[in-house]
Structure 1
């Protein structure tokens, strides 16, 4: 079992940008490293959230599926940690920017470290997007994102989880705060574009200082990808 609060990642975000999404590893291999995380599925078909060790696929049609057999489901990109919060508080959070300021206040010496984030409670509104997947092999992520579906949930009880990544990993991961939402009944959610809490919610955070990266092997898509850093493109896609 992985130690708590170590960041594990399979593949890199620049690979998704270049359309590398036809192969990967079983999600069960990712879960060996953590119980809290984000990712996607083959052909970028939907958003992944790993919550308390359970994996859910949030699809562009608005449905959410629990992945009951993670050993049989492949991910081309995922990041997880075995979450053990080192800071727990209650706070009203009016926006992604407000959360960013809160995280900086809670962890002023963590500018160049990863943070793992979890919020539980009632959200006044949550605006999410879900990717519909590639239409052909190697279709790049910006083209996939152009067909994303956007949903807004109001007075929604649920959980937001994610990570803050430092600027120097942009292209390897998504620098800044990257989060997904799933509602309490685990039937809907997606990649966070904007949110606002309904009063105080529980905010749990941990600082991560160990980073383990596994790259795809025997994957022609990955081997032939340019993997040129595109910070502006990643920010545009990941919101």
Structure 2
């Protein structure tokens, strides 16, 4: 074997070794998720993953924080918490999360959107432009929104109640003619129980001062940057509560209730 072949073999061996390391995440094509949505639904609000650890797996994403303390917006490599008062706070790497998803944002397609009169219409327009419903997608939309309706929840105290009960007391925020960014993850229907099937959107203002989990929005003449991902990396918690939970009940109804506006005002 000549020197060139030896060098090529060595590089290949190193690459394979790195890929097999625990927690390794490829920069392209991989969605990383910590914990499962059903764990959050039953009230497991404390996790081991730090924000610093999450950043190793992406620069864009969403989730929440320990004690269910607000909504997470992961954008441009920085993680923000939208508090129960609707204010955005930049989070330190030592903060922890019980549930989060992240990826390195890439743009495989740009979808021009002439208008959207509701969140449902936005979802339908994006879906009609996708190549398949069976992949994961990370989506970002930047610009001015005529209206934006978001929510956040307050930090919980033990004993924790299920998420469907928490959102009954959620705080709702309304914005008009606001500039900012929508960060969304679209997951296939078959992730039921593990992730959030369909669309999951969070919003943060351009000046990074406010936002939340998106309940509704209206806009005209914007574009969606869409990246498709065909690798899914799931990291399960090792907390006592997670390991002791029985995940034997269908939580689809609870998830739908959580994702919608439970407070009409």
Aligning the two structures, in what range does the TM-score lie when normalised by the shorter sequence?
over 0.9
Q: Aligned pair count?
A: 234
Flag the structure with higher helix content.
Answer: 2
How far 1:22 sits from its partner (Å)?
A: 2.1
Is residue 2:67 matched to residue 1:43? yes
Q: TM-score, normalised by structure 2?
A: 0.85
Matches within 5 A, 1:189-204: 189-197=211-219, 199-204=220-225
How far 1:62 sits from its partner (Å)?
A: 1.9
Is residue 2:231 matched to residue 1:210? yes
How far 1:134 sits from its partner (Å)?
A: 1.6
Tell me how far apart the structure 1 counterparts of residues 64 and 111 of structure 2 sit (CA, whole Å): 29
Q: Which residue of 1 aligns with 2:246?
A: 226
Q: Which residue of 2 aligns with 1:99?
A: 122
Tell me how far apart the structure 1 counterparts of residues 56 and 141 of structure 2 sit (CA, whole Å): 23
How far 1:176 sits from its partner (Å)?
A: 1.1
Map Cα deviations across residues 15-45 of structure 1 (whole Å, 9 max, x no partner): 0111111232111111111111001000111
- Bigger relative contact order, structure 1 or 2 (CA pairs below 8 A, ≥6 apart): 1
How far 1:172 sits from its partner (Å)?
A: 0.7
Is residue 2:36 matched to residue 1:12? yes
Tell me how far apart the structure 2 counterparts of residues 118 and 94 of structure 1 sit (CA, whole Å): 18
The partner residue of 2:179 within 147, 152, 157 is: 157
Q: TM-score, normalised by structure 1?
A: 0.94
The partner residue of 1:132 within 120, 131, 154 is: 154
Q: Which residue of 2 aligns with 1:142?
A: 164
Tell me how far apart the structure 1 counterparts of residues 83 and 122 of structure 2 sit (CA, whole Å): 26
Q: Which runs of 5+ in 2 are unaligned?
A: 1-24, 261-265
Q: Which residue of 1 aligns with 2:17?
A: none
Please state whether the residue corresponding to 1:99 is helix, strand or coil: helix
Computing the radius of gyration from Cα coordinates, the structure with the larger value is 2
Map Cα deviations across residues 99-126 of structure 1 (whole Å, 9 max, x no partner): 222222221x311111111100100101
Structure 1 runs of 4+ with >3 Å offset: none
Is residue 2:87 matched to residue 1:63? yes
Tell me how far apart the structure 2 counterparts of residues 133 and 204 of structure 1 sit (CA, whole Å): 32
CA RMSD of aligned residues (A): 1.3
8 A contact 1:47–1:131 mirrored in 2: yes
Q: Which residue of 1 aligns with 2:54?
A: 30
Is residue 2:188 matched to residue 1:172? no
Please state whether the residue corresponding to 1:191 is helix, strand or coil: strand
The partner residue of 1:89 within 95, 111, 114 is: 111
Map Cα deviations across residues 186-227 of structure 1 (whole Å, 9 max, x no partner): 100000000011x2113101111100000001x111012222
Please state whether the residue corresponding to 2:203 is helix, strand or coil: strand
Q: Which runs of 5+ in 1 are unaligned?
A: none
